Structure 1
């Protein structure tokens, strides 16, 4: 909203916000690691996302943007099957990585994002390398994400997070860091670590606003 109104002399975009009702069991399953195609949490997620897609269709929505890395490919498949356009957060972020000529990026996200190699699948074809945290480092990232979910992050905790990430990046030779979980958005910038930071949520907001600005019919 802020990006669109600032760039369009205050005109308002036509938006519908839909909250997918994830329960703690589903969230924990995806935080903890791989969730295969037949697993109950994966099936529940597909059902919830399909409910959202059907709601959009009933309300004449044409384009969707979801603030979640882990489930992007699930939503993209559903949108494709139902004639909707999904602004894919991972595709948007990997495009920014290529544009800024990063060659080796550290991926910070949930264990499911790591296990499914969501970023590596896209970047490896371009000769770019994805680095994932070690098991101990991933435990730290997931603990931080859980605190962020509860909105219980102190200034000191943010500083510790930035320092740990900086050490991880330099130890692995990364030239960029990807905030591949929306709960990490805004908690790290280039000044904190001296590296390029690709904030997937901010990049999605940018891509969504550019899409709206390019289509006059999406304005009130």
Structure 2
């Protein structure tokens, strides 16, 4: 297998999921104790979150680019970013970096399109829901992307940053997420994208009224597929 490099810590709770799933998928693929060689660059999320909300994306791009170059220098062959929101800086991160990058939105769009869904609702941070960097990847696959209303977007963003990024699970927040899924279903959504790597802590196929596409699961499968080729 090719050596995998992860840029994570945004937040640590989702990075844990990446590590578990990458190893589990590999065990199942080879039907033995095989596990991938992984280098993890785990960033200080307090610094990242502050720069995000202060709109200092140029600095964030430089941070990611520096980490990507370090991983390339130590022999990483497949690179992945363990967060949906920070894919906003894909181009900046990969500047002068030549190793293969597995894009979470591209992987997700491919799976949704392959299963013949047309109108997924995107549940994520406000950055991901309201800006075009992520939705454009989905639209390029012919998908009609729906997003929750403004109040619902505020609710999602607040719960993600104030609870899920601390790995806090509140049943009242789970109920709110379920209500938002029901609401977007009424507006025409035929499926839902867990478009923040922490959303799967509250939502899954068992409690969603719509088919669920978990971006962490999809991304991890694509990473292992790429590393195994």
Same fold (TM over 0.5): yes
Distance (Å, rounded) in 1 between the aligned partners of 2:188 and 2:150: 18
Q: Once superposed, what is the RMSD of the aligned Cα atoms?
A: 2.1
Structure 2 unaligned segments of length 5 or more: list them: 1-22
CA distance in 2, matches of 1:157, 1:123: 27
- Which residue in 2 is equivalent to 1:21? 44
Q: Report the 3-state secondary structure (helix = DSSP H, G, I; strand = E; otherwise coil) of the residue aligned with 1:190.
A: coil
**Divergent runs of 4+, >3 A:** 75-78
Pair 1:5-2:24 in alignment: no
| Structure-1 residue corresponding to 2:10 | none
TM-score, L = length of structure 2: 0.81
Q: Residues 122, 57 of structure 1: CA spacing in aligned structure 2 closer, same or farther, 3 A cutoff?
A: closer
Contact 1:182 1:200 (8 Å CA) reproduced: yes
Matched, 1:191 2:206: yes
8 Å Cα contact 2:169/2:201 also seen in 1 = no
- Count of aligned positions: 205
Q: 2:182 and 2:92 mapped to 1: Cα distance?
A: 37
- 1:178 to partner: Cα distance: 0.6
Structure showing greater radius of gyration is 1
- Quick one: structure 1 residues 163 and 15, their matched pair in 2 at CA, closer, same or farther if it must change by over 3 Å? closer
Q: Does 1:44 align with 2:59?
A: yes
> Could you tell me how far 1:152 is from its partner in structure 2?
1.9
Alpha-carbon offset, residue 22 of structure 1? 3.4
Correspondence for 2:138 among 123, 128, 144: 123
State the distance in 2 between where 1:80 and 1:43 align: 13
Q: Is the 8 A contact 2:178 2:203 kept in 1?
A: no
Q: Does 1:114 align with 2:101?
A: no
TM-score (norm 1): 0.84
Deviations for 1:44-69, whole angstroms, at most 9, x for unmatched residues?
A: 21121122112112201111111111
Q: Name stretches of at least 5 consecutive residues in structure 1 with no aligned partner.
A: 215-220
Matched residue, 2:181: 166
